[in-house]
Chain A
C-alpha cells in the first residue's frame, strides 16, 4: 500500500536558522499536501502541490514537488519560535478520499 516517510523525525534549530523536511513515497503521488500541527493542536492545511516539479512559496516557507512525483520538501528560511510544531505531508491514493499522512517531522526552535 501507499507509504509516505518523512525525514528527519525531529529537528532542533536555533532561531534564525533554516529548516528542511523531506517527504518520500514508494509510489507515484497524485498530489502532496502539507499540514502543520502545533503542540496540543490539530493539523492545519498549509499548501497543496499537484504538478511535477512544482514550487510554491508562502512568505518564509518554500514547498517543492519532485519531478517524479515521489518526493516533496518543505523549507523554512530563518525559523521563528512560532514555527514550532510537527509538519506532516499527506497525499490521497489516486481517485479516492483516502488521505494518508507521512510520519511527520517535529520542529523545535530554540530562542
Chain B
C-alpha cells in the first residue's frame, strides 16, 4: 500500500464553522506533512510531524491546528477560517532518515477547501 488517503475530497465551510481534515498512511512513514496549495502556485509547507511530534510549524495562523493521534494518522483542525484560506490542502508522508528529508514524499489527493 503506497497510498496517502485524505478525506474529505471537497469541503465548503462558513467562517464560523469548525471542521477537520483527515489524512492516513500505512507505509510505516514516520514523517507527515501538511501543505497548502493555491491555484497555479507551488505547495507551501505548513506543518511537519516527525515521530508523532510537531517538528516544524511554518508560522501558520492558530486557526489551523494540526494533530497527530498516531503514526498513521494526521489531522488538521480548522476554525474561524477566512475566504483567503480557500485552497487545496495536501497531506504527505515520507520515510525518516538520519538527517531528515532524504526520501521521496508521497502526497494524498488533497482536500479542496472553500471558505464562504
* A-to-B contact residues, CB < 8 Å: 30-31, 33, 41-45, 48, 88, 90, 92-104, 106
Asked if B50 and A97 make an inter-chain contact with CB atoms under 8 angstroms apart, the answer reads yes
**Pick the contact of A97 from B33, B40, B90, B110 — CB < 8 Å?**
B33
Q: Sample 5 A-B pairs with CB under 8 A, ordered by A number.
A: A45-B106, A48-B104, A92-B101, A98-B45, A98-B56
CB distance from B50 to the nearest CB of A (A): 6
Q: Which residues of A contact B50 (CB under 8 A)?
A: 97
What CA separation (Å) do A58 and B14 show in the bound complex? 45
Listed in ascending order, the chain B residues whose CB lies under 8 Å from chain A are 31, 33, 40-45, 48, 50, 55-56, 90, 92, 94, 99-110
Residue on B nearest A91 in the bound complex, by CB: B101
If A97-B33, A98-B48, A98-B56 touch, does A42 touch B108 (CB 8 Å cutoff)?
Answer: yes
- Which residues of the partner chain B approach A31 to less than 8 Å between Cβ atoms? 101-102
- A100 interface neighbour in B45, B94, B99, B107, Cβ under 8 Å: B45
Docked Cα-Cα span, A44 to B107, in Å, equals 7
With a CB–CB cut-off of 8 A, which chain A residues contact B99?
Answer: 30, 94-95
Q: Of A44, A96, A98, A104, which one neighbours B42 at CB under 8 angstroms?
A: A104
Q: Closest residue of chain A to B91, judged by CB? A: A42
Q: Is the CB of A43 within 8 A of B101?
A: no
In the complex, the answer to whether B40 meets A42 with C-beta atoms within 8 Å is: no
Give the complex CA separation of A35 and B81 in angstroms.
30
CA distance A88 to B40 in the complex (A): 12
